[in-house]
Amino acid sequence: PVDRSEEIQTARLGLPVVGEEQKIMEAIYNNSVIVIWGATGSGKTTQLPQFLFEAGFGNPDSPNPGLIGVTQPRRVAAVSMANRVSQELGQYSDKVSYQIRFETTVSKKTAIKFMTDGILLREIADDFALRKYSVLIIDEAHERSVNTDILIGMVSRIVDLRKSMSEEDPSVKPLKVVIMSATLRISDFTDNASLFREGPPPLVQAEGRQYPVTVHFSRRTQRDYVEEAFRKVSRGHRKLPAGGMLVFLTGQNEIRLLSKKLKQAFKPTQRADTTQAKVEISANDAPLEAEDLELGGMEMDNAGDEDDDLEITGLDEPEDDDGFDLGEDAMDSSTRVHVLPLYSQLPTKEQMKVFEPAPENSRLIILATNVAETSLTIPGIKYVFDCGRSKEKQYDLSTGVQNFQIGWISKASASQRAGRAGRTGPGHCYRLYSSAVYEADFADYTDPEILRTPIEGVVLQMKSMGLHNVINFPFPTPPSRQGLAKAEKLLKYLGALTGSGQVTQIGRRLSTYPLSPRFGKMLYIGHQHGCMPYVIALVAALAVGDLFVAENQLPGNEAPAPQSRKPDSDSDSSDCEDRKVYTNADRLEDTQREQRAKDYARVHRLLSKHDDTSDALKYLSAICAYAYAADGDAFSEQMFLRAKAFKEASQLRHQLSDIVRSNNPGLLGAYSAKLPEPSPKQLKALKQIVTAGFIDNVAIRADLAPVPPEIPRAPRRAIDVPYLTLFRSRERHAEDIAERAVFVHPTSVLAKLTPKEMPPYIVYSHLQQSAAAPVAGYTPKIRM
C-alpha cells in the first residue's frame, strides 16, 4: 500500500473523484474505453493515475505491466502534474516521470508517465500498437486541440488492434483508455459511431466542485480591459483578505503592461532567481510537439502598423458594489505584491515559478493567458480576475488568411477560469464583463481547433501511416471537406501526393520530419550546392518562428507608445498613479531609449547584410550567429533576440540534423553548429529552396499583374505597395484595391525599402490579418 502523508491523505479524501474510485475502476475493468467527466478540481488528473498504479498497472510483475501514460495538451501541465502525483505517491514517488519536448525524467523505474499529446503522437508513428503502455489517460479532452482529437481517433483504432493482437498472442495485453474531460461537451466522443466500434464508451461522473467559487459580474463592460484589470486588481489588493490572485489576459504584451503598472503602484517583492535542476535529453530522442511549433508567431504584433491599432477608451464605472466587501479584514496595507507572468512562450523554468510559495507578507498575483485555464493547480489562488477575452488563432480555410483575433471566450472557458479560484479553498471570481454580455455574446463552447487550423501535416502523417482515406478517419469532429481539399492540394504541389492522392516516396520522406510538410520539402531538396547544413538551420529557425523581440516590446517601450510620452502629453487617460510628470529620470530614460533604438536598427541591419530583401536569410544569419556566441543568453539580450526561441531552434536544428543524416547516410558530416558564411551561390540556392516549400504562397506586385488593377494613388511607403496573390486570398472583385491586395508586414525587411525598390514577386510564409478594430466599415489590411 502507498504510504501517504497525513496531509495528502486528508486532502485526497475530500476529492469527488476519490469517492468514485470503485465505480471508476470497475468501469475500466469492464470496458476498453471509458469517459470520465468531473468538474475542474475534482481530482481527475492527480487521482486516476494513482488508482491505476495501486491496481497494479505499470508494475512489471502484474498482469498489466505496461506503463500508465497520461497526456496533457501543455508542457507546463505535464511537468507540474507529474510533480504533484509523485509527491502524493509517498514511497513510490520515483515511479512518476514526465516527458516533454527535449526533456524527460523517464527511467527504468517509471510506471506513470506524463507527457504532452505531441509526444504520444510521435510514439504512435514508431509503434502503432503502443505496446509499451497498458493504459492511456487522455486528459483535458475538452480542450479539443488538434493533437488530442487525432490521438482519440488513433487510439480508438489501437484499442481494436491490441485486442486482436492479444487474441493471437496472450503475452500482448489489451489496451485500456480513459478519456477525461472537465466539461460535459463529450457527445463528440461518446455519440460518434465511427469512433468506438464496441459502442459508445460509458460515462462516469464525479460530481461537485471541490470548493465553492462566488462569481461577481461587473455592472458594465469596459473596452480597455487591461486598464480595467489594473483598476480592479489594485482595489482588490487593498480591500480583499489574504489570498493569491490569478488574472486572465490575452497575451504577453498585456501581461507585461499590467505587471509594470502593478509594480509601480505597489511595493513589489524582490527575490533572486531560483533555478530548478532538470535532465536534458538529446535532441535525437525528442519528438516535437506540433503545438509548440505552431505557437511561433502567436504573439506576433502589429508593430508600426498604426492604422490597424485603433484605441478606444471606455467609460468610467462607478465603484460601488464591486464584490470586494467580503466581511473579512483586508490584508495589511504594507503587503507587497509578488507579480509573476505565465504564458506559453515563457521558458518552462520561469513558468514553474508560479508553483513556488510567495515570500512572507506578500500577495501572489499571477498574470496569465489561457495557459492557466485548465489542468494547473496553483496553490493559494483565491481570487480570479477574468477579462473574458482570449487571443485565438483563426484560419480562413478558403483564403488561407490567419488572424489573431481577440474575442470573447466561451461560457465553458469562463467557468474553467472561475474554477481556478476554488482549487485549494473557497474563492471568488471577478468577471470584468457584465452578465448581459456574458449571456448575449459568449458561445457555449469553443470550436475544436481542427476546424481552425491548416491540416496538411495531419493529412500527410495519416496517409503515410497507411490511413489513406483521411475522410473516413474517426475524427471526433471531422475537418471540413474544404480544409481537407486544401491540404491535399498543397501536398500535391509539394510532390508528397500523387494526382490521385497516394503518398509518394517524397511524401513518405517528408512525413519523417516532425514539421509542416513545407519544411520537409525544403529539407528534401536541401542538398544542392552543399546547402544542407544551412537549410537545416533555416528550417529550424522558420519552424520555431518569432525569433526577434519586436521593437515595441522592448522593456520600457511597451506602452504608452513613445510619442505619447512627450512632456505636454495629456493623452494618458488613467486616473491613478500613472499621471505624467516629466522628470530628469524620464529624460535620462528617453536618451537611453534613443540609444537603444539605434542599437536595434544596427542589429537588424547587421542580420540582413547577406540580403536586404529576405526575411528568411535574416533568420538564417541570426541562428548561425547565435551558434557562435559563447553565452547564448547574453548574446540574445544584446542582439534583441528571444532567447527561448533560439534555444528551441538550436535544439530543433540538432534534431533535424540527426534525422537528415539517418535519411541520407553519407550526406552530412558530424554536426557542427558553427557554419562558415554561405557563398553567393548558396544564398541564391537557399532562396530557391525556400520558394519550393512555399510554392503556392507567391504574390506579384499589383502594377505588374497581367491585368493590373487600378491603383488610385502612388503608395508612399513600402508597406502600402499592393500585391496580388497567385491564389485567391481575398475577394477578387472587390472594388477597392486595398481590399483585393495584400501588403508586406511592417516587421519584414522589405518594409525598409522605398516603394520603388519593392520586388516584383514575393514568397511569403503566411497571410495574416490583425485583430479587427472595433470600428464599423473598417477592415484591417492583410499582410504577408
Q: Give the residues lining the site for ligand ADP (CB under 6 A).
A: 15, 38, 40-47, 84, 182, 210, 377, 379, 423-424
In degrees to the nearest 10, what's the CA dihedral of 553, 556, 560, 562?
A: -90
Nearer to ligand ADP by C-beta: 140 or 488?
Answer: 140
Q: In 3D, which of 447, 522, 416 has the Cα closest to residue 183? A: 416
**Cβ neighbours of residue 679 under 8 Å, at least 6 residues apart?**
529
Q: Which does 46 bind (CB under 5 to 8 A by kind): ligand ADP, Mg ion, none?
A: ligand ADP
Q: Contact region for Mg ion (CB under 5 A) — 305-313, 369-377, 564-572, 700-708?
A: 369-377
- Name which of 207 and 575 has its Cβ closer to ligand ADP: 207
Neighbours of 606 (CB within 10 A): 13
Cβ-based nearer residue to Mg ion, 119 or 522: 119
- Measured from the Cβ of residue 761, the count of other Cβ atoms closer than 10 Å reads 12
Considering the complex, what minimum distance in angstroms separates the CB of residue 8 from ligand ADP?
9
DSSP H stretches of helix in 642-720: 643-663, 680-693
Strands 698-701 and 203-206: unpaired
Name the DSSP class of 743.
B
Query: What is the sign, positive or negative, of the torsion defined by CA atoms of 29, 30, 32, 34?
Result: negative
Q: Which is nearer to Mg ion, 210 or 269 (CB)?
A: 210
For ligand ADP, the closer of residues 15 and 288 by Cβ is 15
Q: How far is the CB of 14 from ligand ADP (least distance, A)?
A: 8
Name the grid cell of 579. Answer: 499621471
Provide the minimum distance between the beta carbon of 204 and Mg ion in the complex, in angstroms, as a whole number: 15
192 binds, among ligand ADP, Mg ion, none (CB under 5 to 8 A by kind): none
Nearer to ligand ADP, 34 or 484 (CB): 34
Terminal-to-terminal C-alpha distance of the chain: 60
* Binders of Mg ion in range 371-400 (CB under 5 A): 375
Torsion angles phi and psi, residue 648, rounded to 5: -65, -45
210 binds, among Mg ion, ligand ADP, none (CB under 5 to 8 A by kind): ligand ADP
Residue closer to Mg ion, measured from CB, 44 or 431 = 44
Q: How far is the CB of 141 from Mg ion (least distance, A)?
A: 11
- In the complex, the smallest distance separating the C-beta of residue 501 from Mg ion, rounded to whole angstroms, is 39
Nearer to Mg ion, 136 or 258 (CB): 136
Nearer to ligand ADP, 90 or 297 (CB): 90
Closer Cβ to ligand ADP, 206 or 538, answer by number: 206
Residue number with CB closer to ligand ADP (9 or 313): 9
CA–CA separation, 597 and 36 (whole Å): 54
The C-alpha cell at 270 is 524582490
Q: Report helix, strand and coil shares of the chain as percent, to nearest 5.
A: 40, 15, 45
Q: Mark the segment that binds Mg ion (CB under 5 A) among 37-45, 85-93, 243-251, 458-466.
A: 37-45
Residue 217 φ/ψ, nearest 5 degrees: -85, 155
Smallest distance, Å, CB 21 to ligand ADP? 13
CB of 46 or CB of 259, closer to ligand ADP: 46
Closest approach, Cβ 85 to ligand ADP, in A, equals: 9
The site partner of 655 among Mg ion, ligand ADP, none (C-beta below 5 to 8 Å per kind) is none
Kindly state the smallest distance separating residue 476's Cβ from Mg ion, in Å: 19
Give min distance, CB of 375 to Mg ion, in A: 5
720 to each of 437, 552, 702, 725, 764, how far by Cα in Å? 37, 21, 11, 15, 16
* Contact track, Mg ion, 542-581, x by CB under 5 A: ----------------------------------------
Taking CB under 5 A as the rule, which mask of x and - marks residues 45-84 in contact with Mg ion?
x---------------------------------------
Q: How far is the CB of 11 from ligand ADP (least distance, A)?
A: 6
Report how far apart, in Å, the C-alpha atoms of 224 and of each of 96, 231, 314, 316, 371 are: 44, 11, 6, 11, 22
Q: Please, which residues have CB within 8 angstroms of residue 305's CB and are 6 or more apart in sequence? A: 719, 745, 746, 770, 780, 781, 783
Q: Choose the one of ligand ADP, Mg ion, none that binds residue 377, judging by a C-beta under 5 to 8 angstroms depending on kind.
A: ligand ADP
453 binds Mg ion (CB under 5 A): no
Q: Which does 38 bind (CB under 5 to 8 A by kind): ligand ADP, Mg ion, none?
A: ligand ADP
CB 483 → ligand ADP: shortest distance, Å?
31
**Could you tell me the smallest distance in angstroms from the CB atom of residue 182 to ligand ADP?**
6
- Nearest distance from C-beta of residue 391 to Mg ion, angstroms: 23
CA distance 702 to 716: 15
SS (H, E, C) 231-267: HHHHHHHHHCCCCEEEEECCCHHHHHHHHHHHHHHCC
Tell me how far apart the alpha carbons of residues 762 and 409 are, in angstroms, rounded to a whole number: 36
Q: How far apart are CA 447 and CA 480, in angstroms?
A: 13
Burial class from Cβ neighbours inside 10 Å (0-12, 13-18, 19+) for residue 673 reads: middle
Q: How far apart are CA 269 and CA 660, in angstroms?
A: 48
Residue 709: CB atoms within 10 A of its CB come to 16
Nearer to Mg ion, 203 or 451 (CB): 203
Nearest residue (CB) to Mg ion, 182 versus 639 = 182
Q: Which is nearer to ligand ADP, 20 or 551 (CB)?
A: 20
Cβ 143 to Mg ion shortest distance, Å: 10
Distance of CA 676 to the CA centre of its chain: 34
DSSP string, 417-446: HHHGGGSSS-EEEEEEEEHHHHHHH--SSP
DSSP 704: G
CB burial readout 98-128, b (16+ within 10 A) else e: bbbbbbbbbeeebbbbbbbbbbbbbbbeeee
What DSSP character marks residue 479? P
Around 105, how many Cα atoms within 13 Å sit in the side-chain half-sphere?
Answer: 19
CB of 376 to ligand ADP, least distance (A): 8
Contact, 344 vs 642, CB < 8 A? no
Which residues make up the interface to Mg ion (CB under 5 A)? 44-45, 375
